Amino acid sequence: MKNNILKMAFILLATNLVNSQKVELPDALQKKWWKEAVVYQIYPRSFKDSNGDGVGDLKGIISKLDYVKSLGIDAVWLNPIYASPNDDNGYDISNYREIMKDFGTMEDFDVMLKEMHKRGIKLIMDLVVNHSSDENKWFQESRKSRDNKYRDYYHWWPAEKGKPPYRWSFFDLNSDAWKFDAQTNSYYLHYFSEKQPDLNWENPKLRQEVYAIMKFWLDKGIDGFRMDAFQFISKDNTFPDLPKEIVNTPAAIIKYYLNGPHLHDYIQEMNKEVLSKYPNAMTVAEGAGDSPEAAMKFVDPDRKELNIAYHFESVDVGKHLKDFGLVKYKAIFSKYDDKFKDKGWLSIFLANHDQPRMVSKFGNDTPQFRELSSKMLSTFVLTMRGTPFYYNGDELGMDNIRFDSIEDYQDVDTRNKYIGIKNKGGDLHAFLDIQKQSSRENSRTPFQWNTEKNAGFTTVKPWLKVNPNYKTINAEAQEKDSNSVLNYFRKLVKLRKQEPALVYGKYTLLDKENPSVFAYTRELNGKKILVLLNFSEKNAPYNIKIPIAKSKIILGNYKIKKMNILQPYEAQIVELK
């Protein structure tokens, strides 16, 4: 008995000694699946039509899951598929627990989720709760009377108080976020389209409705949410006058919108009531503030809010990166990395459904350089620190379609801006010329699967025109070419998974003032990887002050390398010795 007691005491002492020597890793180095994941964004309306109505759907996605799996990605972010009248391509939701008829049924969704999980692919869905559709039951009830139980699910301003203080709208013809509704002699608030009334998060009943919706989908087995327009959910319901100096400055007004009085209170409440009960769920904060400090508030683990900050500074560079300047661009990534090097986590992306095509905005989509610059940009996204979000079609080097006529556009944003300019007698030709480069509809054209009619997307007229270059840019052709943009992307994904330094490694910027070359190292546990990227169409020298003659090039987009100089849009990933 005595020996047993002594033995147990020794075991307890040894255990305590071991535990006392454990060193807690910095948050940025703690392993999480969503840090190591490569996320592939699917725009369902444009991915694959299965039933011949010209619109992509869930069965179409199911039919292409083997292709998605072949990319090596870990998770799919799916744009909204909820019931919607489709004023803003699904971002106006009429029922959060139903599937849009264009896309199929809930049974189709269940099959899709099962088939994704069978292939080891996680599913991230958009959570769109800054606003709903005006055809949502909540809003239909809300507008019936001032004492309706759903009235306070939205922001109303009684007309007898006069016109409400000005608020700017993204999609309104007159940029006015207040819409008069005669039924109750009141105005309702809409930061986006007038068919997208803003939800009143100041109402605890509304918040509970949102939490119930989240639980509904998480209980179905989805793996997380990308929080759409989440930075706007908190408003001051007294709606004070805007500061005079920002009234006519939309960019300043947007920044004003970002800092609602209870924004983080609501997210912390959401975490406590929902997210903490699903600890493996990925949560992504879209538009996370306007600075690294603001972004950190969303994802600092001590604050118990969300996982990944998805800020916009990396894409808010105007029409093209060359106009913005690479030196300034490098500074953006470096300042965010400096803030996030020890805790919190970032996303890395160059494209999504609200941006033009990656190669057209950040690279060079001429026939001479499209493939090279596509590969270079993919190298950047897959070797930076943060979770890479990669938009469907960019793995083929799909580029801007550049519509000539307003009739070709379906987007509420472009159409309303066109009408607004027309009403004011503005220059419509100049507007359309700008849209050729900047319109988000450039990224929404149907996926280019093969050389068949409509790129193999559909057998009938597609909801949006197919880019005519599908005969030469398509997945089927690139599958057969070992040197294609597609197969280069696959190599990058595989490399990222093999090299923890590319996920968790320290980032160090090199040759900071070089106007053409983005050079940096990633370093972890003695392993050091150098990334060299030429963002220009000319040969570019670089000065990194690191001897690389004996180092090994792991991957690059040129077969023949030149010493101490990068060829146009060249990418090199080098293992330093």
Dihedrals phi, psi of 569, to nearest 5 degrees: 55, 30
The catalytic position among 57, 108, 126, 228 is: 228
Q: 147 exposed, middle or buried (CB, 10 Å; 0-12, 13-18, 19+)?
A: exposed
Helix 370-383 to helix 485-498 angle (10° resolution) is 20
Q: Identify whether 228 is a catalytic site residue.
A: yes
Amino acid identity at 495: L
Three-state SS at 269: helix
Positive or negative, the Cα torsion across 258, 264, 269, 271?
A: positive
Q: Count Cβ neighbours within 10 Å for each residue of 479-501 and write b for 16 or more, e otherwise.
A: eeeeebbbbbbebbbebbeebbb
Three-state SS at 534: strand
Q: Identify whether 286 is a catalytic site residue.
A: yes
Dihedrals phi, psi of 541, to nearest 5 degrees: -75, 160
Q: 39 exposed, middle or buried (CB, 10 Å; 0-12, 13-18, 19+)?
A: buried
306: number of Cβ within 10 Å:
28
The catalytic position among 134, 286, 337, 371 is: 286
Distances (CA, A) of 204 to 92, 218, 261, 278: 22, 21, 15, 22
Q: What is the dihedral of CA 432, 436, 440, 445, to 10 degrees?
A: 120
Catalytic residues: 228, 286
